[in-house]
Amino acid sequence: MANPAHVVHVVESAAEVATAAAQRVAALIGASIAARGTAHVALAGGGTPKAMYAVLATLGGIDWSRVHLWWGDERCVPDTDKDSNQRTAREALLSKVSVPGAHVHRVRTELTPAACAEEYEIELGRVIGAGVPVIDVLLLGIGTDGHTLSLFPGSPALQERQKLVVATHAPAASPVRDRVTFTLPLARAARHRVFLATGAEKRPLVAACVGGGSEGQYPAAMVGASEWFLDRAAAP
């Protein structure tokens, strides 16, 4: 039984997830611009979001001049590195649409992780507003351990209630351990949280998250009510 706080969209294939999610994100961007004159979108890394970005870049009707782009988390590598979420977004989306340079809010991974996180939090407040800034569309993935953003099971970052962006560490098996990530208060403040998940290995995790009752187990279940775009294999 799905938690009624979540909205779950199931399509047949990963390609259809990319298309359906891109269309929904485009609609949310348009609604945000219509309501507030701008849209703040936080991007995710990974192959499934990358496929969605490629579709999003082809959709008409988006006023990219009014869109601000952020990253919900980033690996502390140069933004030319193959593991960089910023590189992924640049190749699949930014190189194909006309977002003003001042609206692309880089995660400055050339700084130390702690300084990078602190600067990014300041930038969010400067551009969006004081208090807890409200991201209009927060794009999310879910790892096979139930993590989302760079919030991993058991991480002290999950307990953070004051800072909005923190430096953290991925598990030892990760090729890039140093990370910068949005914290739960910032994720929960977003107007719309949109998960993309594909593949049978994600099915039990998705089931636990959308079914409720796993809030203390998986970080992906802790971010609040979300929309989920799933292929048939990942659907509970």
Q: Could you give the 3-state DSSP secondary structure of residue 192? A: strand
**Nearest partner of 21 among 61, 50, 63, 64, judged by Cα:** 50
157, 232 contact by CB (below 8 A)? no
7-231: what fold?
Answer: Rossmann fold (3.40.50)
pLDDT at 103: 98
pLDDT at 215: 63
Pair of tokens at residue 95: 């190189």
pLDDT at 3: 59
Please spell the DSSP secondary structure of 90-150, one letter per residue: IIIIITTS---GGGB----TTS-HHHHHHHHHHHHHHHH-SSS---SEEEE---TTS-BTT
pLDDT at 214: 64
pLDDT at 212: 73
Q: Give 107's contacts (C-beta < 8 A, 6+ positions apart).
A: 71, 74, 79, 86, 116, 120, 180
| CA neighbours closer than 13 Å in the CB half-sphere of residue 104 | 15
Q: Mean pLDDT for each consecutive 10-residue tract of the chain (236 residues)?
A: 78 98 98 98 95 97 98 97 97 98 98 98 96 97 96 97 98 96 98 98 94 79 96 97
